[in-house]
Amino acid sequence: MRAAKISEFFRELDITLAHTQFDAAAAVYVEKHVECCIRNKYILKLASDEGRHLVFIKLIAMLLANDPNDRPTLGSLQTFAVENNVSTRSRVAATLNVAEFCGYLKKVKDNKDGRQRSIVASEKFFKVAEEGFSCYILSILELDPDKYRGITINDREMIAAVSSYGVELCLKGMRPAELIPNMNVFSRRDGGVEIFFRLLLEARHFSSERRSKVNLPFSVIAKELALSRSHVQKFFKAIEDQGFIKLVQPGGKEIEICESGDAIARAMIGGYLTIARIAGDAVIKRRQSVAMQDLHG
């Protein structure tokens, strides 16, 4: 079953990569993703490993779905994390404490069970969620504007669908590092994907302005993403060891994107756009079904 699901995802990935508008959609995705990361750089601390990231995405999906029968609580998220072996109870609590301290949410006593603490989102949370997921939505609008014209950039149903599908993939054992060969080096390092996308943006990797050699000092990335310079340096050394780039001059003053770096970039972006495309299709089908029910009701 798991092998079949992975094969199904790769078939969808091939469709995305072969799309005539793939480069244009990828360019939008990278640009918006980097913009959001720079503006909300401290949110990286809430997703500093795969398990915490998955818990936070699960929380986003639950809050945006707004299902009265499935309201998120500290206990339910801790149970989700432990049962699916993605994080510990204490780490979930710590993650939510950081999110509360940053003003994204607050924990209140549950009306049905006073022993539980319900999680309530702030306006700041919704703003960051809508802004953060706009990179997915704007990308699929670029990919196929006629098909997705009913979806807007602050479409909460679409954001919830993207979040839910991403969580579903991970719970089926389809981690990014397994889906895309050699991606482990990105998913295992704090801010790895964000740092690499910053490099792709500087190179205008998916546009006609594309350059193979880029001047992007480590100190600039470190400041933009609230990471240490040594952390950024170690990441670039790691992806150089993988053959994705060449550090031509020290300190990031000249970085060359190699052929294998080009391949991993296309695969990574294609994977994210495929998740958005599948989620968008699900939203469209659901809305068509509701419209038909209303018509015959």
What are all long-range contacts of 129-132, with beta carbons under 8 Å and residues at least 24 apart? Answer: 129/60, 129/64, 129/156, 129/159, 130/154, 130/156, 130/159, 131/36, 131/39, 131/40, 132/36, 132/40, 132/43
Candidates 211, 217, 194; CA nearest to 132 is 194
Give the residue extent of every domain in the chain.
2-296
In whole angstroms, what is the distance from residue 198 CA to residue 39 CA? 13
CB crowding 22-38: b at 16 or more within 10 Å, else e: bbebbbbbbbbbbebbe
Structural contact between residues 87 and 52, judged by C-beta atoms closer than 8 angstroms: yes
Report the distance separating Cα 206 and Cα 221, nearest Å: 20
Rounded CA gap, 285 and 199, in Å? 36
The strands making up 245-249's β-sheet, listed across from edge to edge, are: 213-214, 254-257, 245-249
Cα dihedral 142, 39, 226, 93 in deg (nearest 10): -90
pLDDT number for residue 260: 92
* Residue the block writes with tokens 């301290």: 101
Sites in the chain below the pLDDT cut of 70: 1-6, 45-50, 110-115, 173-179, 181, 294-297
User: Cα separation of 87 and 243, whole Å?
Assistant: 31
pLDDT value at residue 107: 83
The CA R_g of the chain, rounded to the nearest whole Å, is 20
Strand partners, 246: 256
pLDDT at res. 99: 85
Please tell me the predicted confidence (pLDDT) of residue 190.
80
Predicted pLDDT at 5: 63
Angle, CA 246 vertex, CA 139 and CA 255 arms, to 5°: 60
Quote the CA–CA distance of 32 and 5 in Å, as a whole number: 29
Structure tokens, 51: 């398990």
For the chain, first and last CA: distance in Å? 38
